[in-house]
Each structure stands twice: as structure tokens, then as C-alpha cells.
Amino acid sequence: MPSTDTKITEIFIPGPAGRLEAKYFKSKKNTSPIALVLHPHPQYGGTMNNKVVVDAFQTFVDSNFSVCRVNFRGVGKSDGEFDNGQGELADAAAALDWLERENFDNSQCWISGFSFGSLIAMQLLMRRPEINRFIAISPQPNVYDFSFLSPCPTSGLIIHGKKDELVPFEDINELNKRLSAQKGIKVEFDIISEANHFFSKADTSLIKSLNKYIKKETALY
């Protein structure tokens, strides 16, 4: 059941380059799962208020997660400046630290990211064994090297728009085949036929995909 209390608060999280601006929803249930949602590339207009990021955040809210979306350093009211991925990974780790402290009885820990944010999410996944599931929306294996997922430590979902103008299908399909061949995890691959990289006019299909996976993977919790 969707949460009836949808109060989302602005917070500032202590980060390695100063404070990080974030939006946070706290579930009423102490043992609710938690999720961190990461935004696209800061140098191309990416912020935590990106439509795809907000859609993912709200889907977690409606699924009774305690969830946070955060502006990387130098974005919005966050301190610091862009650091070519390394600083942004440190920012994400700091945000997850804060989220875990606020929800120490959580039943699951999820990470999600859109475009550049999916790269940072997957890098964080490799460093934090408590992360149970991931959702990578529009990852760019043609731009970023995902070979560090050797092996990928947990199951998750990759969502790709069939009309993605930035990522050739053969690149995303190769990533999918490599992850799907790994034993002990299950990486699902959802192609949304009408969607481009930014899911313009395809937000309903995106939310449906997110809802389906989240519902299935939290059914036992």
C-alpha cells in the first residue's frame, strides 16, 4: 500500500566536500527498506530534481521505503565542485552512511541511479556489501567502463529505452549478457519500447517497470 504520509523534507547531509543538499522521506515503519537515488551528470544539467530521479524517488516512497535523493557536490545548494566521478562516489557513500544511521533497523538496502548516476550507484554497490538490490536506469556502457562488475555482488534491474539515442543497443545488450551469465545473482533487463535515454513521454512505463520490480523483490519483507 502506498504511504499515506508523503511529507518530503529538505535536508543537508555532511559530505566530504561540505554539506550535501538532499530530499528525504521517512517511512513510519522502522524496519522499512531504504533506498538512495542518484542523479545524472552534473555538467550536463543533472540534479536530484531530474524527472526520472523524482519518478524513481516517488516510486520508492509509494512502496513504503525510507528514501533519499541527493545533489552531488557543486549542484544546487551542495558545497564543492564536480570531481570527475571520484568525489561523487564519496558523496553517495556519505549519503548512504547518513541514510543507514537514520534507519538502522532497515530490512533491505537499495541503490538506484539514472544515466551517470547509475555508474556511481554500481560503483558504490561494489564497496558496500549491505546493498541488497540495485536499479540502473539508462546506464551508458559505451561511455563508462563497467568491467568493475566482475562479479556483480547482488541482483538488480537494468532499464533501457529502446529508442535511447545515446546508448547503442548492442552495448547495453553486451552488459546484460555479461551480468546475466553470473551465478548466484539475477540481473533483470527491461527494455521500454517507446522510451529514449531520458524517458521523455515514457514516464508511465518507467514507473510501471519500477513498481513491478520493487513489489516483487520486497514481497518477503
Q: Taking CA 204 as the corner, what is the angle to CA 122 and CA 40, rounded to the nearest 5 degrees?
A: 35
The answer on pLDDT for 220 being more than 90 is no
Q: Taking CA 176 as the corner, what is the angle to CA 174 and CA 150, rounded to the nearest 5 degrees?
A: 90
The answer on pLDDT for 57 being more than 60 is yes
The answer on pLDDT for 139 being more than 80 is yes
Q: Which domains, from first to last, does the chain contain?
A: 9-217 (3.40.50.1820)
**What confidence tens digit (pLDDT) does each residue in 22-53 have?**
999 999 999 999 999 999 999 999 999 999 99
The overall pTM is greater than 0.85: yes
The answer on pLDDT for 219 being more than 90 is no
The answer on pLDDT for 126 being more than 90 is yes
Contact 38, 120 (CB under 8 A): yes
The amino acid occupying position 163 is K
Q: Please tell me the predicted confidence (pLDDT) of residue 6.
A: 65
The answer on pLDDT for 158 being more than 90 is yes
| Whole-number Cα distances in Å, 175 to 42, 93, 139, 158, 181 | 24, 24, 10, 10, 10
Q: Please tell me the predicted confidence (pLDDT) of residue 2.
A: 47
